[in-house]
Structure 1
């Protein structure tokens, strides 16, 4: 089970619970396992939990387009990887953390590309597993500056306009033009964060004929004018750089 972005969630059994059943803290066993509940009882379920952190400034762009939950089952390659992860997590071999880090990276990639074996909510992953819809998504990603219409994207996917519109919405969870707008705005935010480009240049690169048209669309979608968004994120980066510097100094000391 893959949660591409952190958000609040809870886990519980199907059986009715009482306040006495709720455990807020876990017990750390000698082998490093965290036990929720009575440590002397046999466990009802066992979880192997890991996490990945993307340090790229584009990480938010990816996570915003992924479903909230990816559930994969019946994939032999993943089962083998999970066995390796479990074995390495329980052992105390040299370079254990390095091996676990690499295994989790491969596990993440395999989970994301598990195609038909993946049960996901509508989103980018499900759209990319549909060969026809994937073609349209790739065209949008390759050329966001093009004045795409539903008919043109349907033609790229070799589907009728109505069939494409319905199939795209069912797979991705939003209409084609809504996805195009979301992609353009995600790219625009990334350009405003990372590059010293003018509003007019950003507008042209994401498919808008004028800076004013782009500014209106950006403000409506993001809730801030592009100039203010660029200024605020630049200030936030400065604060983060200071925090990173302090952290590094502290760890060295």
Structure 2
């Protein structure tokens, strides 16, 4: 069976819903949020606003836009007509899952549904680097529908609620990453790499055999490109050089195997393409900041 790298990464992340809310804004307003490292998304239902993520150039959002930040950094959301002296204003709850900024007699200039979630995988620090920092999709009605479903399920208390939310969030993340990579200025990342037939061939080959002794030449052959053309094309679309991506995915797989504590170190090393446990241990410690044994114990306790 041909592997699906995007599905593998999102499934391993184990997305969990924390809360979803609908916010209406009127007048001039501004929200400042400190980075938490958790995933954040928002769907603009009506109106427009300006969003700044981690000090990067601001993004102008309008109705139909969907923004995903897989690991939220400092975030500023504000109205377009914001006076320079305007200070942050906190939304006031006006109903279950509904909040408002501005007086009720003021005309609303924005309706936005936002969601905060988390990744349940203990190996999240090894997996998130494979995703873009920011994903912006425009005019995709399916994303607005999915955020509505997540919001409804979050407020409800029906049987199998957590399972339904996990599946909805997996679909939402995959759909956002797929739609976001279709824009002409799409950010580099796994989804954009999979949208390129040549790069996708190499990605699928590696995901199918992570234990194989891959080299740039062998991956370039899978992509039917010269080594130099493959290296440049992969780095441009995925956002990191090929061997760096290979290292990241191998370490993510190793993290899962170590956490399970069902295999010995030699077996884990072999599963992720290392000929000896010592060379694997050195590589893993350099990447994860701790030895494989310590990582396995720590993550097993957390899980």
Question: TM-score normalized by structure 2?
Answer: 0.64
2:70 aligned counterpart, secondary structure: coil
Cα distance, 1:162–1:94 mapped onto 2, change above 3 Å:
closer
What is the distance in 2 between the residues matched to 1:93 and 1:59? 28
1:131 aligns with 2:194: no
Cα distance, 1:140–1:103 mapped onto 2, change above 3 Å:
closer
1:178 aligns with 2:244: yes
For residues 1-253 of structure 1, what are the structure 2 equivalents within 5 Å?
1-15=67-81, 17-23=83-89, 25-30=90-95, 32-51=97-116, 55=120, 62-78=127-143, 81=145, 85=148, 101=165, 106-114=171-179, 115-117=181-183, 120-237=186-303
What is the distance in 2 between the residues matched to 1:194 and 1:93? 33
Is the 8 Å Cα contact of residues 126 and 248 (structure 2) preserved in structure 1? no
2:136 aligned counterpart, secondary structure: strand
Give the superposed CA RMSD.
3.2
Is the 8 Å Cα contact of residues 66 and 124 (structure 1) preserved in structure 2? yes
Is the 8 Å Cα contact of residues 122 and 173 (structure 1) preserved in structure 2? yes
Task: Provide structure 2 residue ranges, at least 5 long, that are not aligned to the other structure.
Answer: 1-66
2:293 aligned counterpart, secondary structure: helix
Deviation for aligned residue 1:13: 4.1
Which structure's CA Rg is the greater one? Answer: 1
Choose between structure 1 and 2: higher helix proportion. 1
Higher relative contact order (CA 8 A, sep 6+): 2
Cα distance, 1:78–1:150 mapped onto 2, change above 3 Å:
same
What is the distance in 2 between the residues matched to 1:185 and 1:118? 31
Deviation for aligned residue 1:127: 1.0
Aligned length: 229
What is the distance in 2 between the residues matched to 1:53 and 1:236? 15
